[in-house]
Structure 1
Amino acid sequence: MRGLRLLRAPAALLGCLCVLLFLGGTPAYAHTALKDATPGPGAKVAPGADVVALTFGRLKSGTTPKISLVGSDGSPVAVGRPEVADDSVVCAAVTPLRAGVVTLSYTVVSADGDQQSSAFQFEVADGAESVATPSACRGLSLQAPGAGGENGSILGLGRTTALVAFSVMGVVVVGGGVIVVRTMRGRRLTGSGRTAV
């Protein structure tokens, strides 16, 4: 009997340590999880909403979140460049929403550098309640949709940057072609001169 009592204490202590290790070792994945949204996942809103807002935990400063919307017909909805308010609320102006199911996709970077991407859907329907611009977004001067934001980009670059890059690439290709042609002509002339001698 006494031997069983002596074994129970270490077994109970070992069980407690295992529970503590299991609970203490669980990683914290929820720090960038979506906490609130306007319109929110599964919400039903009236047509005409022109601002979306997503609330997270603290986001990394200096990073630009990405937001994209797709209408029920599969066509993209123009989105202006997202802005961050209060280090946690992402606001973006969008083309006034039309009736149908809208899919919103986002990518954000938390304060510790972890990136999270996800998506959700909401419905825009006649007769539904209008959605007001969230208070955190009201003081921001949001870029108009299609004014050089995500939808005005080419291969992920700003329109101006992309045009400059393509121009430089064009000059390099044309210049390289001219050099190759001149080199080939020079070799031919040198070769024909040797034949004549």
Structure 2
Amino acid sequence: MRGLRFLRAPAALSGCLGVLLLFGGTPAYAHTALKTATPAPGSTVGSATSVIALTFAQLKPGTIPKIRLVGPDGTAVPLGQPQVADGSVACASVGSLPAGVDTLTYTVTATDGDVQTNAFQFQADEGTQAAAVPAACAGLSLAAPVSGEDDGADARILGLDRTTALVVLAAAVAVAVGGGAVVMRRSRRTRPTGRRRRAAV
């Protein structure tokens, strides 16, 4: 399907986002690769699909993958808090899927602590049968979906996830403060010269 594609999050954003590399950004390794998904990348499922499931090769015990879903218009789709089944399957409830091309982003932590963020797209169609709930998720009591605006972990600032935005803002403040310090130093250096000139007159 032409409109669908598998996406890999960039290692660094352009411009000032390059500063993020200094804050412990780690590369994406294959050992946390996505094995299967419901809906699957590039697939077409019914809008009534009620559960999203992601199966990974390895997950760090005790960690829960972060999952975010965005509709065709760029609006966050409400999801329930993910739960992990069988140590490798992340399950999350969804009220309904917006018709069109939806984008799902996930962040996982491997057993050695490496963090990977990737994304993929799938098609949701009102006239298509809903995807069946995966067996690994069927026995879980999944939390009801909550709006992206109410989910602090997925809150976004200026189009960026909260953590990234805060780091970028901190870097911008540091640059502003550094620039101000330079101006103050130059101003202090020029003041004595002015006084000597007035004294000579």
Structure in which a larger fraction of residues adopt helix: 1
CA distance in 1, matches of 2:42, 2:154: 29
Please name the residue that 2:107 is paired with: 107
Change (3 A) 1:151 1:140: farther
Please name the residue that 1:145 is paired with: 145
Please name the residue that 2:44 is paired with: 44
Match of 2:152 among 147, 151, 154: 154
Question: What is the CA-CA distance between 1:156 and the residue it aligns to?
Answer: 6.0
CA distance in 2, matches of 1:123, 1:49: 11
1:65-96 Cα distance to aligned partner (Å, 9 max, x none): 10000001111100111111111101001121
CA distance in 2, matches of 1:130, 1:115: 31
**Aligned residues of 2:48 and 2:126 also touching (Cα < 8 A):** no
Structure 1: state its 5+ residue gaps.
1-27, 158-197
Q: Secondary structure at the match of 1:35?
A: strand
TM-score w.r.t. the length of structure 1 is 0.60
Question: What is the CA-CA distance between 1:128 and the residue it aligns to?
Answer: 2.6
Q: Secondary structure at the match of 2:136?
A: helix
Query: Which structure has the larger Rg?
Result: 1
Q: Secondary structure at the match of 1:62?
A: coil
Q: Return structure 1 stretches of 4+ with deviation > 2 angstroms.
A: 126-130, 150-157
CA distance in 2, matches of 1:115, 1:80: 22
Question: What is the CA-CA distance between 1:29 and the residue it aligns to?
Answer: 3.0
**Aligned residues of 1:79 and 1:151 also touching (Cα < 8 A):** no
Query: Which gives a bigger RCO, structure 1 or 2 (Cα 8 Å, sep 6+)?
Result: 2
- Aligned counterparts, 1:122-141, within 5 A: 122-141=122-141
Change (3 A) 1:151 1:36: farther
Please name the residue that 1:63 is paired with: 63
Question: What is the CA-CA distance between 1:129 and the residue it aligns to?
Answer: 3.5
Structure in which a larger fraction of residues adopt strand: 2
Percent sequence identity over aligned pairs:
55
**Aligned residues of 2:35 and 2:55 also touching (Cα < 8 A):** yes
CA distance in 2, matches of 1:151, 1:137: 25
CA distance in 2, matches of 1:107, 1:143: 19
Change (3 A) 1:151 1:49: farther
CA distance in 2, matches of 1:44, 1:153: 27
**Aligned residues of 1:48 and 1:98 also touching (Cα < 8 A):** no
Structure 2: state its 5+ residue gaps.
1-27, 156-201
CA distance in 2, matches of 1:122, 1:92: 16
Change (3 A) 1:143 1:155: closer
1:148-188 Cα distance to aligned partner (Å, 9 max, x none): xx65333669xxxxxxxxxxxxxxxxxxxxxxxxxxxxxxx
Q: 1:33 and 2:30 equivalent?
A: no
Aligned residues, how many?
A: 128
